[in-house]
Structure 1
């Protein structure tokens, strides 16, 4: 009979922890937090920056108040499609929250989810985030539709997609702040 090596034992324990629902999500979030620390979104090449036609994004607050946010009509917009059950979303949320605290009055932040508002409110309270989350009241515009979350965008004041990022990244990086600062100045 073969002896079990330490690496085989560790492997079996990790697999077991990933199978158990109570430990799977925290492990996935922790692994995604490592990714967030390593990766910052980057600006799209000029030829890849898609120009959106100006439109109004119809949304509803978690308290049921309808509102329309103008996209490409004079303000920079940060859009993130996310969910409370999504480990990469949870991992990058603190960096978005920090960015919102510094730029929330200067650019529009749309953190869009399709979840039950009570679940989202509980998540925000538990994690101590004070960022406005909204629910869509229209279909996602085709130019912004992706089947995976998180997917996030920074759109300039004219409606050009400057950054598009799928997966967990550090939105509070120096590079992103420099991009936003430039977009606000222009």
Structure 2
């Protein structure tokens, strides 16, 4: 059986796509593509906003102590559900790091994962991220549940969910910073 030039090109393209889609070699490509297609997240329209009423959520904090989410009531909070194996999650982490570097003393940042702590610690150290990672100890409040990651919620001081974003986003955008500034003033 003789292969034509077109068949060989198609076979090479199929092989390359398979490598990108189904092997660890494709992970950096997926991260790069997600970064390229990320835009600033949009605010939820005021009439469509959910309100967080249930602050009973136990988490293990970065210093390995148990905390209750209720401690963050009446504050501006950014909750991000993520994993080290998730390309869109990894793609948005540098933006979150920049945002955290600027707003980390004014806004509560919770980067929540179910992954093994040793895996997460290795990832954070390798990437030089200083984001505060939390581990859930019980069920997440219903209004913050998502069937996909990354999932990010920006909650204002009154408990309104101002941003409810699934998928990668440009979190270090001017519009996100302006929103946080506005929420901090209210």
Match of 2:140 in 1: 140
Instruction: State the match for 2:33 in structure 1.
Output: 31
Q: How far, CA to CA, are the matches of 2:60 and 2:109 in structure 1? A: 13
Contact 2:55 2:141 survives alignment (8 Å): no
Secondary structure of the residue aligned to 1:4 is helix
Shift of 1:35: 1.6
Q: Which residue of 1 aligns with 2:44?
A: 44
Runs ≥4 in structure 1, deviation > 4 angstroms?
none
- Match in the other structure for 1:11: 13
Query: What corresponds to 1:130 in structure 2?
Result: 130
Q: Partner residue of 1:75?
A: 75
In the alignment of these two chains, the number of paired residues is 184
Structure 1 residue 87 corresponds to structure 2 residue 87? yes
1:64 is matched with 64
Change (3 A) 1:63 1:184: closer
Query: CA 1:8 to 1:121, structure 2 compared with 1: closer, same or farther past 3 Å?
Result: same
Stretches of structure 2 that go unaligned for 5 or more consecutive residues are none
Deviation by residue 1:37-69 (Cα, 9 ceiling, x = unmatched) = xx1101011111111215243210245211123
State the distance in 2 between where 1:137 and 1:183 align: 29
TM-score (norm 2): 0.91
**TM-align CA RMSD:** 2.0
Q: TM-score, normalised by structure 1?
A: 0.91
Q: Matched residues in 1 for 2:179 and 2:142: separation? A: 25
